[in-house]
Amino acid sequence: MGRPLLVVENLSAVITTGRGPLTAVDGVSLSLDRGEVLGIVGESGSGKSVLARTIMGLHCSDPRFALSGTVKLDGRDVLGLEPSQLRAMWGPEVGMVFQDPMTALNPVKRVGTHLVEAVRKHQQVTRRDAVGQALDLLDMVGIPDPRRRINQFPHQLSGGMRQRVVIAMALANRPKLLIADEPTTALDVTVQRQILDLLDRLRGELGMAVIMISHDLGVVAGRTDRVAVMYGGEIVETADARSLFDAPRHPYASALLAAIPSLKGAPHQRLAAIDGTPPDLVMPPSGCRFAARCDAVHDDCRVQPPQLIFDGTHGTACHYPVNPLISTASNTSGDT
């Protein structure tokens, strides 16, 4: 495919707050090929949403944000674009799906209006053609009876249906990259599964790249090619999904996996909780940001911040990784 679709290099986002500058994203680098699915996992406050919005260019003209580093989407430097150029990019280049479908939709506009406006923003088509496209979009995202739904208001739809409409809006102009920020967090479990299946199917059909952001490892597992784990504004581990879930190397990633209750075990099993709280990003600790909560912490962890070091495609930012680096990139799934 040649050059990657998205290249982020050394991206930092510093937010001005009442308490001082907060480094929400700190020196993040990543790249994404066309058609690839990247999962970004992290807890609240890990900087994953700020990262996604910065990649979108949503924070470019916000005076509270000081951005540095580069974001190249299809060769264009997103952070250097004018607001009008950004608006032209949102839609045909990159689309976004938000956590809460209710707030992403305008409550006084019909479903059809949302979609028609999304289509006509970037395409010179008649209203009739745009309505036709809107019907196709609703059909594509699995909404039954589109002719009836197109005239309804957002509050007349269930949460899952609303999220499908939001996805349809994001896909109206066939973006090359779809950023889904916690797309299923506000939804019920059974609906969550449907929406994830839908995103899977659409990615296959449209061949777009997807960045899937979630606090829930389960949402990302099995649906992504590659996963990046964020902690305290930094990427602490990145690898192809299988090796990350089967043999995580960063103690945080490993602890996060262990903290999830399993359906397999017996009831009342003690969960491996991670003690403590995430670091304060106004005054981040000097060494490794996970040091205060890490079971395997050494003295130098508190002093020397670890760099993201790659072994093949598996990158880990830890002085003392859990699973040794010897295991090759094409690891076997023999371990539990």
Partner 1 sequence: MASANTVQVRHQADAPSGGASGASAKSGAPVLSVSDLVVEFPLADGQVVHAVSGVSLDLADGETVGILGESGSGKSSAARALMQLPPPTAGSVKLQGKELTGRRGAALRTDRARMQMIFQDPISSLNPRRRVKDLVAQGPRTWGRKVSDDDIREVLEAVGLRPEVVWDRRPHELSGGQCQRVSIARALMLDPQVLICDEPVSALDVSVQAQILNLLEDAKKRYNLSVLFIAHDVAVVKNISDRVMVMYLGKVCEVVPSSKLVEEARHPYTQLLLASVPEMHSSSSGAGSGVGGSGPGASGVSDGQGSATSVGSVELPSPINPPSGCRFRTRCPLATDLCAAEAPMLRDLGDGHLLACHHADSRHAGSAGRGEG
Query: What residues from 296 to 335 belong to the interface with partner 1 (CB under 8 A)?
Result: 333
Closest approach, Cβ 63 to partner 1, in A, equals 25
Closest approach, Cβ 167 to partner 1, in A, equals 12
- Cβ proximity of 161 and 149 under 8 Å: yes
Among residues 303 and 329, whose Cβ is nearest to partner 1?
329
d(C-alpha 192, C-alpha 327), whole Å: 34
Binding-residue total with partner 1 (CB under 8 A)? 54
Closest approach, Cβ 41 to partner 1, in A, equals 9
Binding mask 42-71 for partner 1 (x = CB under 8 A): -xx---------------------------
Contact status: 106 vs partner 1 (CB under 8 A): no
Closest approach, Cβ 160 to partner 1, in A, equals 8
Among residues 128 and 264, whose Cβ is nearest to partner 1?
264
Contact status: 263 vs partner 1 (CB under 8 A): yes
Q: Which of 84, 273, 299, 324: binder of partner 1 (CB under 8 A)?
A: 273
d(C-alpha 112, C-alpha 179), whole Å: 22
Q: Which of 148, 151, 271, 328: binder of partner 1 (CB under 8 A)?
A: 271
Among residues 44 and 124, whose Cβ is nearest to partner 1?
44
Closest approach, Cβ 61 to partner 1, in A, equals 29
Contact status: 267 vs partner 1 (CB under 8 A): yes
Binding mask 181-210 for partner 1 (x = CB under 8 A): -------xxxxxxx-xxx-xx---------
Contact status: 161 vs partner 1 (CB under 8 A): yes
Residues lying near partner 1 in the complex (CB under 8 A): 43-44, 142-144, 158-159, 161, 188-194, 196-198, 200-201, 215-219, 221-223, 241-242, 245-246, 255-257, 259-275, 277, 333
